[in-house]
Amino acid sequence: MAHLPFSHLEPTLHHLRAKYGPIFTLYVGSRPVVFIMDGDLAHRSLMQRSEIFADRPRPLATSDLNTNLHSINNTSYGSVWRLLRRNLVSGVVNTCKAIPVDGVAVDYYYKILRELNEEDIVSFCSEFLDASIWPACAALEWIMARLVKHQDIQQKLKKEIRSVVGDKKGLVDVEELQRMPYLKAVIFEALRRHSPAHFLIPHRVKEDVMIMADHHEYLIPKGAVVNYLVTSVGLDASVWEEPLEFRPKRFMPGGEGEEVDVNCGKRERSR
Ligand code: HEM
């Protein structure tokens, strides 16, 4: 994942949210930059209108390896982005559920792959290493810290893991993981409370789009950059009861986060 901008602006953004509501525009030079600060608006834009919101702005600087337009996070939404993303999802992230591709798709896949030169491949590998390591490490560190602090949660988690894998040594498989809902709840709660990324990577709208917030319709003009403040979604007191508390049971049946799930590939499926 690329370096995330605006982190120093966070307190100001919270202040602006209190004054102007969950969506507002700041100008960076003459460039309008929209900020979206709540989960409902994030869901309605990124999930329900993903074909408009999935694009990325062109990077401003060319100071590191990850600026080639053939990396996933700054490729425009389209065939190259889909190829890179599918490659990552089916080949690396989700090896147990590889996306089935027919003969026609395979030909297309190789045709685009042949178009990638050495520089593209270096850029892609660099992005992959950067995007995969630090957020996962940060999340794991927070989880371990929380398990040390909350011994009751640690005991409950150990009990669940033992009940599924017993004394088995070695790797836990995916089918076993699916029988550990409390483990999933602990991970989700850590990501909510201690999100490794405070902002998403900036998005860009492909066309003019109207969006409803607080009973008003707002126009986001074609080409505008849209930023999402993840911490503001995770700590929203109108959604999460006592949001600063670490409570995995929010994500268990009956909790306010019961419906939350990770849907890797929403951008992929929306095409
Ligand atoms: C706890 C672990 C992780 C967290 C919290 C995390 C968080 C994020 C966030 C917030 C974004 C920006 C999404 C957006 O702007 O729409 C992102 C993008 C991305 N992440 Fe992760 N990530 C994690 C693990 C990984 C791993 C393990 C990989 C690779 C194996 C990975 C690869 C990527 C890539 C390639 C993108 C760009 C996707 C795109 O532009 O379509 N991430 N991640």
Taking the centre of ligand 1 as the mean of its atom positions, its distance from the CA of residue 54, in whole angstroms, is: 14
> 40 pLDDT exceeds 70?
yes
**How much is the average pLDDT of 109-134?**
80
Closest CA to 266 of 2, 49, 93, 12: 49
Alpha helices by DSSP H, the chain? 10-20, 39-42, 50-53, 79-88, 103-115, 118-149, 151-165, 174-177, 181-193, 230-234, 266-269
| Distance (Å, whole) CA 47 – CA 43 | 5
Q: How far is the CA of 136 from the centre of ligand 1 (A)?
A: 9
Å from CA of 166 to ligand 1 middle: 32
User: Which residues are 225's β-sheet partners?
Assistant: 33, 204
211: domain range?
Answer: 7-269
Q: In 3D, which of 18, 64, 22, 11 has the Cα closest to residue 227?
A: 22
pLDDT in the model for residue 81: 75
Q: Which atom from ligand 1 is nearest to the alpha carbon of 73?
A: 40
Q: In this structure, is residue 2 part of a structural domain?
A: no
Which of 23-32, 53-62, 73-82, 115-124 is predicted least confidently? 73-82
Predicted confidence at residue 268, as pLDDT, reads 39
199-253 pLDDT, tens digit per residue, is 999 999 999 999 988 788 999 999 999 999 999 999 999 999 999 999 999 999 9
Q: Is 132 in the pocket of ligand 1 (CB under 6 A)?
A: yes
Mutate to test the pocket of ligand 1, among 6, 66, 85, 132 (most ligand atoms within 8 A of CB): 132
Determine whether the shortest distance from the Cβ of 225 to ligand 1 is under 6 A. no
Question: What does the pLDDT read at residue 9?
Answer: 85
Ligand 1 close to Cβ of residue 21 (< 6 A):
no
> Atom 13 in ligand 1: which residue has the minimum CA distance?
200
- In the reported structure, the alpha carbon of residue 34 is separated from the centroid of ligand 1 by a whole-number distance in angstroms of 21
pTM over 0.85: no
* Distance in angstroms (rounded) separating the CA atoms of residues 22 and 13: 10
Neighbours of 209 (CB within 10 A): 17
Locate all alpha helices (DSSP H) within 102-208, ordered by sequence.
103-115, 118-149, 151-165, 174-177, 181-193
Identify whether 1 is part of a domain.
Answer: no
Q: Does the Cβ of 190 fall within 6 Å of ligand 1?
A: no
- Output the pLDDT for position 131: 86
In a domain, 179, yes or no: yes
Q: Which residue's CA lies nearest to atom 11 of ligand 1?
A: 200
Helix%, strand%, coil% for the chain, nearest 5: 50, 10, 35
Q: How many domains does the chain have?
A: 1
Q: What is the spatial distance between Cα 73 and Cα 55, in angstroms, rounded to a whole number?
A: 9
The angle that helices 118-149 and 151-165 make with each other, rounded to 10 degrees, is: 110
What are the tokens at 46? 């990124």
Least confident of 48-62, 102-116, 154-168: 102-116
Cα of 152 to ligand 1 centre, how many Å?
Answer: 31
pLDDT above 70 as % of the chain: 77
Nearest partner of 37 among 56, 18, 57, judged by Cα: 18
pLDDT of 95 reads 46
Q: Is residue 215 part of a domain?
A: yes
> How far is it, in rounded angstroms, from Cα 42 to Cα 48?
9
What is the structure's pLDDT at 60?
Answer: 61
Q: Per-residue pLDDT tens for 151-171?
A: 999 999 999 999 999 988 889
- Interval between CA 133 and ligand 1 midpoint (Å): 10
Q: Has residue 262 been placed in a domain?
A: yes
In angstroms, what is the span from residue 148 Cα to ligand 1's centroid? 27
Q: In CATH, what number is assigned to the domain containing residue 240?
A: 1.10.630.10
176 in any annotated domain: yes
